[in-house]
Copies of this chain bind each other. A is one copy, B any other.
Amino acid sequence: MAKLQKSIDKRNALVKATIQLVNNNGFHATSMSKIAKMAKVSPATIYLYFENKQDLVNQTYLEVKSGYTDYAFANYNPEMTVEAGFRLIWHRIADFKLKECESALFLAQCDNTPMIDEPSRQEGIKHLQPLLDLWERGKKEGIIKPISNYLLYAYTINPLSFLMSAQIRGTFVLDKNQIEEAYQAAWSSIKLCN
């Protein structure tokens, strides 16, 4: 196998091991030696690919985050109507959170603890811009309530994180019907009509 491919494989194994260990045991119980063992690599090898533990976690976060936003906007086109665009993006995000739950769970943990440093967190937020632009357009066109983007996010996208967690914890299953109900709840919370 080519050297480069082997390197990529090893790096990916490390990133994947980090995600799985943090998901199952929490960041506090995820040590470098456990990551190394799960990735079938020497602890010392990690330091050929990452500066230190913080760097490993930051890079893992950014990789997962951009996988998420790439998926969310993959077939979005800014020419769409506001409602169609929102429906599309919302469903892509729902899809991602429910299918790629390993990634989604990891992001939920990162977003709620200080395990990620602030620069990486800021970097991760940038990728959501197309959705924010869509919302601004929706407000101008009088289709979406004229409220802060934080509110719009809190009431349409953030609930999906909670539902994903509940689903993983096994207390609840989101079927197709419920996803549609969730979409209706999201849309009715932000649409402007009477």
Contact surface of A with B, Cβ cutoff 8 Å: 24-29, 108-109, 111-115, 145, 147-148, 150-151, 153-155, 158-160, 162-163, 165-166, 171-172, 178, 181-182, 184-186, 188-190
- Secondary structure class of chain A's binding surface, majority of residues: helix
Partner of A115, one of B28, B111, B189: B28
Give CA–CA (A188, B181) in the complex, Å. Answer: 13
Q: How many copies does the complex hold?
A: 2
5 A-B contact pairs sorted by A residue (CB < 8 Å): A26-B27, A109-B112, A151-B163, A154-B166, A158-B158
Partner of A151, one of B29, B151, B181: B181
Kindly list chain B residues whose C-beta atoms are within 8 Å of the C-beta of A114.
Answer: 24-26, 29
B181 touches A185 (CB 8 A): no
B154 touches A182 (CB 8 A): yes
8 closest pairs, A vs B, by CB? Answer: A28-B28, A189-B189, A154-B159, A112-B112, A26-B114, A185-B189, A158-B162, A154-B162
Kindly list chain B residues whose C-beta atoms are within 8 Å of the C-beta of A189.
Answer: 155, 185-186, 188-189
Kindly list chain B residues whose C-beta atoms are within 8 Å of the C-beta of A25.
Answer: 114
- Residue from A153, A155, A184 whose CB has the most chain B CB atoms within 10 Å: A155
A165 touches B112 (CB 8 A): yes
With A155-B155, A186-B155, A188-B189 as known contacts, state yes or no: A115 contacts B181, CB within 8 Å. no
Give CA–CA (A28, B30) in the complex, Å. Answer: 9
